[in-house]
A and B are shown apart, each in its own frame.
Chain A
Amino acid sequence: MILLFCAAGLLLAVLMPLFARRLPRQGPGFVAALLPLAVLLATTPVAGAVLQGEPLIQELPWVPSLNLGLSFHLDGLSLLFVWLICAIALFVFLYAGAYMASSDNAGRFFSYLILFTIAMLGVVTAGNLLSLFVFWELTSITSYLLIGFKTGSEASRKSALRALLVTGGGGLAMLAGILLLGQAAGTMSLSEIVERGDVIRADGSLVAITTLILLGALTKSAQAPFHFWLPGAMAAPTPVSAFLHSATMVKAGVYLVARLNPVFSDVPSWTWPLIVVGGATMLMGAVRAPFKHDLKQILAYATVSVLGMLMLLLGIGHDKALKAAMVLLIAHGLYKAALFLSAGTVDLATGTRDVRALSGLRAALPQLFPVALLATLSMIGLPPFIGFLAKEVALEALLVPTPFQLAIMIAFIITGIALMVAAWRAGIQPFLGPQNDRPGTSISQLLWLMPLLPAGLGLFFGLVPKALQPLILAAATDVAGRAVPVKLALWHGLTPALFISLGMVATGGILIWVMGRPKEGKTTAIAPSPFAASRLFDKSFEAVLEVARRTAGLLDGRAPSYGLSIIFTSFIVLGVSVLLLTNTDARMVPDIVWEKFDFMQIGIGILILAATVIAVFANSMLIAAAALGAAGFGIASLFFLYGAVDLAATQILVDTLVVLLFVLVVYRFPKFTRLSDNLHVLRDSLIALGMGTYMTIMIWKAKKLQYGDPISVDHAALSVPEAYGRNIVNVTLVDFRALDTLGEITVLMIAALGVTALIHQRNKK
């Protein structure tokens, strides 16, 4: 079933750019929204069983001996994420239909969005570490395409590349960790890994595993010092920010940490980084947020902070903390999506996102104000919103004695106050105050209706938290690996948590009043320090490019054969050293049995040699090309002699075509001229001869090495019964080794694209 959705979604994504033009203005949004809607509807009937603890499993094995296969596993935690992703997708897609209504590229935009959604759903339903990794990287790639959607803007392209490199680098580390984990556990299946916790914890590479996997999760979830890509990603169109960078993609790291929690929850190298990095990020993001000018930047830093909070809670790891993390996940997803969408609406209506300039919008955008208000109140954490519930549960969790409890609690309180100020600045302040002369243009209803839905849900779930209880219960149970008691209620009594909360709100209110409104033109943002991670990243990136430029520059102004001679010489030096070090057989040359050669083979051999000599000493390109072609035909004849008919036919055809193509290009070239003096010719000849000799010796040696039975025996035996073909070569190409062939034709396509691009470049000049 899940695979069907993937396939359907893929089809939709591919077709979308083609028919998007024919749909009415906001049509693509509605069409795209069908996917999350369908997933929501399809998962509802099975939700009952899943929430009772019977996960839905679907497996598609591919290479069982390598644990390769697609496997989907829907349990409480996955269901929570699936519903969160699909609900927000629904709202964002419909919103985006209106937001992108004036763009010609709407089809391509929705295509990417759909692909991302599939990838994200794949991450949270993956039952197998390798499937998870594939979908994880897919989210990085689609995020790259979406952030850099405005291909004309250099800022967009740079941010997109930055995000890709950071999350991709983390992903690479994560892959190493996954492979180690799979080895330690003996399986790649997530459900089995959870069961084999003791085996894994006893393994010697435990620290490496936890560190590498955490690197993946922390980069994806924008934790310090890898956080800097997220504010940069705000260059993306706002629906992308609302969907990916607040509610879904960045939460993938949180998902991974939650999913592996049963295995690593008592492992210090897992929990300490989570607590320290999460806590530090939480504080840093919150303290930066209120001082940013751009609405989206405020929201971005706030997101970084909440992600840190989630990591912190998961690191602390006791029952109340896990419960708090699950509630916070939902609460944050809802209010942040609503706030981002409102910010987008404000941007469309007024043309700016600068909080120093925005004022009195409640007159220009009357329907948007209550929406933003609802979302902001949830973010601040006031009752009866779900944000309040999340904050209370988090405070209760932090009140349970843990190491460094005081420091964590202080950090949390400061965070809460700072986020409150940030929320005010982003969500309410632009609407209050005197109306300045920025007129609001009239906007489509969807642009305020869509943010209303998540904001409204935030209110609803706050009032009726019991509705969420089964979901949170199931999710927390999965994260903990054992039954976790969960009771959700808005009013917990006059607890210490409540008083702390009241204190935070009061302090926040005072701060807001004291800080007032940021003045137009005045910079309030804290400048990044010289050690800031983003600067380090940019500098390293530049450094890598500079090294590449200098290295390539070594070949500037020299004939192409110079580079070739460098390559050949290094090859010979390295190769001969390896040969001398590992050679066990003193004989370099095999025993040549002269009787085995017949007249034909010797004759063809001489012909090939003659053709090669002519090619070397030719004085024009045409003759050289023709001679090389003749050598190729000679080789093809040898293939015929040995019975490799397909090989020979391919060789002849390719040879002919290559010579023809070559002639097309070079028939206008002048005759060869002697450019080097005798010494250089001698040197080049020696290098060439050395290379040729070395390769010949290697081929002879390779013939003598035999590591096992050749697979051609099996292929020959199975060719007719299983593949219904008598031509073993063809059967191998299109059946037994079809995957390799698929790779080869993809390379052909890329090569053709490369040639096209090169010629296009040349024509432009």
Chain B
Amino acid sequence: MKQSFLQQSAARIVSPLLFLTSVWMLWRGHNEPGGGFIGGLMGASAVGLWSFVFDHEKARRLLPLSPLNLMVLGVGMSTFCAFWPMLQGLPPLTGLWLESPKLGSPLIFDIGVYFTVVGMVTQLLFRLEEV
């Protein structure tokens, strides 16, 4: 689905911005509106925009892993957060926090959600584009 030069130039600016915004949304989710799902959807939109304006091979190369592997990584990370506390004798899914900076296992969980959503949406996008 190649588009006009104007759209391509715009996408070259908008897409990275979208991606950065998505990471920012992920990061701020705990205290402000945002979070893994919203961030993931925005990140997937960035990839989606690139694939509409250029072709989907180029968009596929934007991702470090294939969409399916990205999903597996995401679910794996979140599952790991579930079992990690058990190694310290705590019930599963207990939040483990560092004192300063205030970082904790829910953040890793959220990042896992982010990857899963990005993987899923891009997988759907790419497969449906092929149809």
Main secondary structure of the interface of B (DSSP, over half): helix
B70-91 to A contact mask, C-beta < 8 Å, 1/0: 0110110011011100110101
Is A661 interfacial (CB-CB < 8 Å)? yes
Is the Cβ of B119 less than 8 Å from the Cβ of A646? no
Given A653-B41, A653-B42, A749-B71, A734-B35 contact (CB < 8 Å): yes
> How many residues on chain A are close to B (CB under 8 Å)?
47
Residues A661 and B123 in contact, CB atoms below 8 Å apart = no
Specify which of B29, B31, B71, B130 is in contact with A752 (CB 8 Å cutoff): B71
Interface check A664, CB cutoff 8 A: yes
Q: Does B61 contact A (CB under 8 A)?
A: no
Collect the chain B residues with CB atoms within 8 Å of residue A60's CB: 86, 89, 91
Among A729, A742, A745, residue most surrounded by chain B Cβ atoms (within 10 Å): A745
Q: From A648, which residue of chain B is reached at the shortest CB distance? A: B33
Looking at A102-110, A371-379, A436-444, A754-762, the stretch in contact with chain B turns out to be: A754-762
Q: Is A665 on the interface with B (CB-CB < 8 A)?
A: yes
Asked if B117 is at the interface (CB within 8 A of a chain A CB), the reply is yes
Other-chain contact of A738, B67, B75, B83, B106 (Cβ < 8 Å): B106
Q: Find B75's partner among A725, A734, A745 (CB 8 Å cutoff).
A: A745
Query: B68–A756 contact, CB under 8 A?
Result: yes
| Shortest Cβ distance from B121 into A: residue | A657
A-contacting residues, B41-96, CB 8 Å: 41-42, 44-45, 48, 67-68, 71-72, 74-75, 78-79, 81-83, 86-87, 89, 91-93, 95
Would you call A88 an interface residue if the criterion is a C-beta within 8 Å of the partner chain's C-beta atoms?
no
Best-buried of A653, A656, A660, A746 by chain B (most CB within 10 Å): A653
CA distance A406 to B127 in the complex (A): 70
| A653 CA / B33 CA spacing, docked (Å) | 14
Contacts of A723 in B (CB 8 A): 95, 106
Interface pair B131/A762, CB less than 8 Å apart: yes
Question: Is A225 part of the binding interface, using a Cβ–Cβ cutoff of 8 Å?
Answer: no
**A645 on the interface (CB 8 Å rule)?**
yes
Is A561 part of the contact surface with B, judged by Cβ < 8 Å? no
Separation of A84 and B103 alpha carbons in the complex (Å): 46
Q: Which residues of chain A have C-beta atoms less than 8 A from B44's C-beta?
A: 657
Given contacts A759-B130, A763-B130, contact A752 B30 (CB under 8 A): no
Which B residues are in CB contact (< 8 Å) with A742?
Answer: 75, 78-79, 82
| Any B CB within 8 A of the CB of A63 | yes
In contact, B128 and A661 (Cβ under 8 angstroms): yes
Question: In the bound complex, how far is the Cα of B125 from the Cα of A755, in angstroms?
Answer: 11
Say if the beta carbon of A741 comes within 8 Å of chain B: yes
Closest-by-CB residue of A relative to B74 is A745
- Docked-complex contact B127 and A724, CB < 8 angstroms: no
Judge whether B120 and A730 touch: CB under 8 Å: no
Interface residues of A in 4-60 (CB under 8 A from B): 7, 60
Least distance between B37 CB and chain A CB atoms (Å): 6
A725 CB contact (under 8 Å) in B30, B67, B72, B116: B30
| B72, closest chain A residue (CB) | A749
Q: Chain A contacts of B74 at CB under 8 A?
A: 745, 749
* B82 engages A730 (CB within 8 Å): no
Cβ of B120 and Cβ of A751 under 8 Å apart?
Answer: yes
Closest Cβ of chain A to B84, distance in Å, is: 10
How far is the CB of B105 from the nearest CB of chain A, in Å? 9
B38 touches A745 (CB 8 A): no
Closest chain-A Cβ to B78's Cβ sits at a distance in Å of 5
Chain B: interface size category: 35 or more
| Most B C-beta atoms less than 10 A away, residue of A7, A61, A735 | A735
Residues from chain A with Cβ under 8 Å of B95 in the complex: 723, 735
Contact partners of B109 in chain A: CB under 8 A: 734-735, 738, 741
Task: State which of B33, B106, B112 has its C-beta within 8 Å of the C-beta of A735.
Answer: B106
A755 and B87 alpha carbons, distance in the complex (Å): 36
Contact A733 B37 (CB under 8 A): yes
Nearest residue (CB) in B for A746 is B75
A727 sits at the interface (CB 8 A):
yes
For A621-661 the 0/1 string (1 means CB < 8 A from B) is 00000000000000000000000011001100110110011
| A749 pairs with B120, CB closer than 8 A | yes
Min CB gap B89→A, angstroms: 7
Q: A660–B45 Cα gap in the complex (Å)? A: 10
Of the residues B93, B106, B128, contact of A665 by C-beta under 8 Å: B128
Query: Is A738 in contact with B42, judged by CB distance below 8 angstroms?
Result: no
Q: Tell me, yes or no, whether B104 is within 8 Å of chain A by CB.
A: yes
A733–B75 CB distance below 8 A:
no
A689 at the B interface (CB under 8 A):
no
A756 to B131, alpha carbons, bound, how many Å?
A: 11
B30 contacts A731, C-beta separation under 8 Å: yes
Task: Establish whether residues B33 and A727, one from each chain, have CB atoms under 8 Å apart when the complex forms.
Answer: yes
Report A700-737 CB contacts with B as 1/0, cut-off 8 Å: 00000000000000000000000111110111011100
A745/B78 in contact, CB under 8 A: yes
Q: Does A3 contact B (CB under 8 A)?
A: yes
CB distance from A422 to the nearest CB of B (A): 46
Q: Is the CB of A730 within 8 A of B119?
A: no
Considering the complex, give the chain A residue whose CB is closest to the CB of B44.
A657
The answer on a CB contact under 8 Å between A657 and B30 is no
User: How many whole Å from B33's CB to the nearest CB in chain A?
Assistant: 4
Knowing A745-B75, A752-B71 touch, does A63 contact B91 (C-beta < 8 A)? yes
Asked if B71 contacts A724 (CB within 8 A), the reply is no
* CB-CB under 8 A for A730 and B35, given A723-B106, A748-B117: yes
Given contacts A646-B33, A731-B30, contact A752 B120 (CB under 8 A): yes
Is the Cβ of A752 less than 8 Å from the Cβ of B37? no
Name the B residues within 8 Å of A738 (CB-CB): 78, 81-82, 93, 106, 109
Which residues of chain B have C-beta atoms less than 8 A from A599's C-beta? Answer: none
Between-chain CB contacts (< 8 Å), 15 pairs: A60-B89, A646-B38, A649-B34, A650-B37, A664-B129, A724-B104, A727-B29, A729-B33, A730-B35, A738-B93, A748-B71, A749-B72, A752-B68, A755-B127, A756-B123
Query: Knowing that A664-B131, A738-B78, A752-B67 are A-B contacts, what are 7 other residue pairs whose CB atoms are under 8 Å apart, sorted by A's residue number?
Result: A70-B86, A646-B33, A654-B41, A657-B44, A657-B121, A727-B29, A752-B119
Minimum-distance CB pairs A-B, first 6? A653-B41, A725-B30, A645-B33, A730-B35, A734-B106, A745-B116
